[in-house]
Amino acid sequence: MDHISFTPFPVLETERLLLRRVERSDAKYIFRLRSDEKYCKFTGIKKYKDINEAIKYIDRIHKDIENKECILWSICSKDTNEFIGGISLWDIKDKEKQSEIGYDLLPEFRGEGYIQEAIKVVICYAFNELNFRKIVAEEVRTENIKSMKVLEESGFEVIKKYEVVNEDGNKEERADHSLLRTKF
């Protein structure tokens, strides 16, 4: 990963959003998000019990960014500078010039087009600045219709659908998505 550098941290902007480095001051928002039942159901992330878990997560992300393993931005409203969600490129594979994308929003900001806006600027950064050739979104629960739609509207194609047995022992359908630079 010699060619990848996140120093200085790449701050990205859209018309309504500022994407900046995640900070410990974001912990209360990350805790709210990661203790939300619906969020945990769709992401498979274990529900946070206290804010210390969010602080540990942020500290781990800072180390992962330093090691060029991922990059995570806090999504903030330009109007209020308020944290509304997060977006990341992770599982970075430098030799293959690809990564996985992940994103989330606090419930009160969903359905306003913020994620599409953030995805677009992050994809442009990945393809134009990092020279990635592919971005994937894997193991997306197909019952998460809104996320499936966001990916489709952002240019991702479903490359595979399959069933898995979840942690409750129930079958559920998942989908892997891909976006090639040549199709963006």
Residue 76: inside a domain: yes
- Count of the separate structural domains present in the chain: 1
- Check residue 90 and give its pLDDT: 96
Residue 1 has pLDDT above 80, yes or no: no
pTM equals: 0.93
As a whole-number percent, the residues of the chain with pLDDT over 90 amount to 85
Enumerate the H helices of the chain as residue ranges: 27-34, 37-43, 51-66, 114-128, 145-153
Model confidence pLDDT, tens digit, residues 124-135: 999 999 999 999
**183: in domain:** no
In this structure, what is the dihedral angle of CA atoms 139, 174, 76, 117, given to the nearest 10 degrees?
110
| Residue range 5-47, pLDDT digits in tens | 788 999 999 999 999 999 999 999 999 999 998 888 888 889 9
> Residue 54 maps to which CATH number?
3.40.630.30
CA 9 – CA 28 distance, rounded (Å): 22
Average pLDDT value for residue range 100-110? 96
Q: Taking a C-beta distance cutoff of 8 angstroms, is the pair 121, 130 a contact?
A: no
In the prediction, which pLDDT does 2 show?
A: 53
In a domain, 21, yes or no: yes
| Stretch 99-120: mean pLDDT | 96
Residue 181 reports pLDDT greater than 90: yes
Q: Which domain holds residue 62?
A: 12-136
**Would 94 be classed as within a structural domain?**
yes
Residue 72, domain member (yes or no): yes
Q: Is residue 104 situated within a structural domain?
A: yes
What pLDDT, on a 0 to 100 scale, did the predictor assign at position 126?
Answer: 97
